[in-house]
Amino acid sequence: MQEELNLDQLRQKITTVSGAELIRLQAFLESEIQRRKQILSQIPAITLEQIPLRVQTRMTFYSIVRRRKICNLAEVGRITLIETLALLKPADLQSFKSLNQRAYSEVMNELAKLKIPYESIALWDLKMIDENPVLSIPQRAGGLTEPVSSVGHIPKV
């Protein structure tokens, strides 16, 4: 609700700016969109089930993701990491952190290993993401490494 109010206020302000200011605003918005697409292009195209996590951590993380995307538990693992980061809001991670600090730390460590900055969460709209196949990466299960099926999205820049 607060986001909608801010958007309405922004729209009202935009209607009152001069043409020169509007052109500067357009240039800024275009550069910001490109910056965010660049961030997307650096995120590995993997699904959540491809991220090595403890069972309890995975279940807690999936429950946070399911709050934003209505789906059953089996489908959550097939959501791409890019989609997940687009769905989640910083408040979701705060909730995750307060629910289970250890699980939160584990997920943040795995994201750090993938070189995904915390700040990249909730930076883009799903409309910025194009559909493409996900690259397969090995998944650890019981000390064994085996390939995981490749289904999902890769951002197009």
**pLDDT string in tens for the chain (157-residue length):** 445 557 888 888 889 999 999 999 999 989 988 887 887 788 888 999 999 999 999 999 999 999 888 788 778 899 998 888 888 887 888 888 899 999 999 998 998 898 887 666 666 555 555 444 333 333 334 433 333 343 344 444 4
151 contacts: CB under 8 Å, gap ≥ 6:
47, 78, 133, 134
Token pair for 76: 């959550």
> What is the predicted pLDDT for the residue at 83?
86
Q: Can you say how many angstroms the Cα of residue 54 is from the centroid of all Cα atoms in its chain?
A: 20
> What is the predicted pLDDT for the residue at 137?
36
For residue 95, count other CB atoms closer than 10 A to its CB: 15
